[in-house]
Chains A and B, each alone.
Chain A
């Protein structure tokens, strides 16, 4: 079947990109292969692990369950927008301080999901924090340190207004 390619324009971490892609290209592959932004990781490709989490127009989303063509005109945020090795972003710094990562495979997904949580969710109790984190899987840390990092970030942020 002839598959019509589609040209799309997106903004990734504030930088505009235009590209022509097949409709079947996943947003995760678009970010990694077309734009070279390999900070977004791909674990399961069916929405279960959360490693590929990015932010689309202000809300977290699985990039493996989103087609690149669906992101037309969308503001995308990825882990690359959070900071760099020399200048860690605040969430990254909290992860470092609390040993909230080991192999780091799941970390970009956690950081992006936490970005959404800190913007939009109460996170007043550990129960709320754990529930909010439940969509991301980590095979190394046992989650305790991740919860500690988020607890500190939530305290720092204060109650949502």
Chain B
């Protein structure tokens, strides 16, 4: 299929993009990498009156460290996040996760922020943003606003952005060097969207897990943080009994859908299996990293 007609603006400043978005009265769309938007436009699932291209706005294509946070600009491509030295050094779990996003050619164009704005429930960057206590910076002609990741994902493909707002950058936590991590995803083919995915980080403090973060995606309408699991693991050493407890608890917490890709039961089974693996990996890495730091 071919797109329905629309106008096109290659914005050269964030202010220009914000004005055009406001003028479009809810019928405008921002285009970043176009890797999710263009398929929908080609199928005429989305019919904007104007596409506002943010790719030529200077200064949005950077990853910068501000204190303990990394700021990822709106036109930072997946390829850049996957190869960036700051990301590799300070957030190795994000480096790992990037390799599950689509394929080389799609990563060349698709953006971190675009993926978060698209809010596909089976995409990796939304769950990473949630896991890393992300803050989304949105701009409109009314001004700038910060939105916590925990308030941002409203539903499948739905976010807290107002129609006249767009994202200029997202800030995420870096992790202390002794943090261990586990990222486990199951998809049918490499680069496909996940049927289920677990992302977790922890440190070992006095022989038990501390600062536990536990996120999942592919098992609900939005990416999830699971505070119940975090509390369960916090203060414990990883053991077979604890992992058993985690998978049993997950069954009560998750309500996955049945769709053409997988049944709800199968997703629940995957969730338990992936959670065990991810927590084991995180524990092993935290042990190695701690020993490395002690030595």
Contacts and interface: CB of A to CB of B under 8 A. Distances in A.
A135 B105 contact: yes
Main secondary structure of the interface of A (DSSP, over half): mixed
Contacts of B6: 1, 3, 23-24
A78 interface: no
A75 to B, nearest CB: 14
A154 B38 CA distance: 32
A50 B105 contact: yes
Contacts of A23: 5-8, 51
A112 B191 CA distance: 19
Contacts of B39: 45-47, 65
A26 B7 contact: no
Interface string A118-161: 00010000000011101110000000000000000000000000
A4 B108 contact: no
B176 to A, nearest CB: 30
Contacts of B31: 70
Nearest to A65: B38
B239 interface: no
Given A23-B6, A135-B102, A135-B103, A59 B108 contact: yes
Contacts of A37: none
Contacts of B235: none
A3 B8 CA distance: 9
A69 interface: yes
A62 B42 contact: no
A113 interface: yes
Interface string A52-66: 010000011110111
B104 A135 contact: yes
Given A23-B8, A45-B1, A134-B191, A116 B105 contact: yes
Interface string B51-73: 10101000000000000000000
Contact of A66 (B4, B34, B49): B34
Interface in B10-51: 10, 31, 34-35, 38-39, 42-43, 49, 51
Contacts of B79: 59
A72 interface: yes
B106 interface: yes
B60 to A, nearest CB: 16
Contacts of A34: none
Contacts of A117: 104
Contacts of A113: 104-105
B142 interface: no
B190 interface: yes
Nearest to A66: B34
Interface string B106-123: 101100000000000000
A118 B293 CA distance: 38
Contacts of B8: 6, 23, 67, 69
Contacts of B189: 134
Interface in A1-55: 1, 3-4, 6, 22-24, 26, 29, 45-47, 50, 53
B5 A47 contact: no
Contacts of B106: 47, 62, 135
Nearest to A24: B3
B190 A116 contact: no
A117 B105 CA distance: 9
Nearest to A62: B105
Contact of B34 (A45, A65, A131, A134): A65
Most chain B beta carbons < 10 A, residue from A26, A29, A70 = A70
16 contacts: A1-B6, A1-B49, A3-B7, A22-B5, A23-B5, A24-B4, A46-B39, A46-B42, A50-B105, A59-B108, A65-B34, A116-B108, A117-B104, A121-B104, A135-B105, A136-B103
Given A60-B104, A113-B105, 15 more contacts: A1-B6, A4-B7, A23-B7, A24-B5, A47-B39, A60-B105, A62-B35, A62-B106, A70-B10, A70-B34, A72-B10, A113-B104, A116-B108, A134-B190, A135-B191
